[in-house]
Amino acid sequence: MRRRMLLAASGALAMPSPVRAQDGAVDLQLVMAVDVSRSVDDEEARLQREGYQAAMTDPRVLAAIGGGMLGAIAVAYVEWAAHGYQQLVIPWTRIGDPADAAAWSGRLAQSPRRSVSWTSISGALAFSRRVLADCPFEGTRRVIDVSGDGVNNNGPPPEQERDRLLSGGVTINGLPIVNDRPNFGVAPGPDLEAHYRASVIGGPGAFLIVAQDFEAFGDAIRRKLVQEIATA
C-alpha cells in the first residue's frame, strides 16, 4: 500500500500542476484544435507538434502572456479528424510563467498521437465548444484556433457550428496549412485559405495566418499566439 502511495505521489510531481478554480481569472481561454487526419503524415505531425511546443515556450509568446492584465492564459489542446473523432489531449492548463509553459510543452511531447481518416472542421468546432463550456477559469476572452491542411469533407458543413459559437461571443481564428502533398492521392485544391475565411473563422478580432507548408508551421503558430494573446 505504501509503495502504491509513493508511486502516485511521484507521478503527481511529474505532471503539470492540476487545474484549480482558485488559480483565478485569466486573460484568455484558448482551445487549440489541431488536425490529425490521415492527410497529415508522420513527418508533418512531428513538425506540427514541435511547432506548438516551441511556440508555447518562445520568449515572445511568454512576453505577450506576461503583458496581459492578469498575466496568465488558459489553454486546452484538442486533436481532431473525422466527425466522430476528437480528443482532448491536454485539458485546461493555466500558463502564467515560463515553468508552466515548459511543463505544458513537455506534456505535449509525451502525448501519443493517432491518425484518423477524413477532415471534419464542423466536428472540431462542436467539440471545442463543449471544451470551452467546461473551462474552470474565468476568462476575459474565449478563442478557438483551428489548424489543418484540408477543407471540411466529413460531417455537416462548418458554418452552422461556427455561427453558434459566434452568437455566444467566441472568436474563431484559423491557421490553414497550404502544402503540395496530396490528400488521399488527390492534389490539394487552391481554395483552402478561402474555405477558412468563408466558413471557419469569425467573431471579434478574428484573423487568419497561413502556413505555406508544415516546415513554416512553427513560425506561423508563434505569430498567431502572440497576436491572439496581445489582442486579449
User: Which residues form the domain of 163?
Assistant: 34-231
- Please check whether residue 190 lies inside any domain of the structure: yes
Model's pTM, two decimal places?
Answer: 0.85
CA 117 to chain centre: 19
Q: Quick check: is 14 in a domain? A: no
3-state secondary structure the chain: CHHHHHHHHHHHHHCCCCCCHHHCCECEEEEEEEECECCCCHHHHHHHHHHHHHHHHCHHHHHHHHCCCCCCEEEEEEEECCCCCEEEEEEEEEECCHHHHHHHHHHHHHCCCCCECCCCHHHHHHHHHHHHHCCCCCECCEEEEEEECCCCCCCCCCHHHHHHHHHCCCEEEEEEECCCCCECCECCCCCHHHHHHHHCCECCCCCECCECCHHHHHHHHHHHHHHHHHHC
Q: Give me the number of domains the chain comprises.
A: 1
**Is residue 177 assigned to a domain?**
yes
151 found inside a domain: yes
**Domain containing residue 72: CATH number:** 3.40.50.410
pLDDT at residue number 183: 52
Examine residue 22 and state whether it is found in any structural domain, yes or no.
Answer: no
Domain assignment present for 51: yes
Q: What is the pLDDT of residue 43?
A: 77
Q: Would you write out the chain's pLDDT as a tens digit for each of its 232 residues?
A: 444 333 333 333 334 444 443 457 999 999 999 999 887 777 777 878 899 999 999 999 999 999 999 999 999 999 999 999 999 999 999 999 999 999 999 999 998 877 777 899 999 999 999 999 999 999 999 999 999 988 999 999 999 999 999 999 999 999 998 865 555 444 555 588 999 999 999 999 999 998 887 778 888 889 999 999 987 5
Residue 18: predicted pLDDT = 41
pLDDT at 42: 77
Look at residue 222 and tell me if it is in a domain.
Answer: yes
**Would 29 be classed as within a structural domain?**
no
The CA angle 33-144-44, to the nearest 5 degrees, is 30
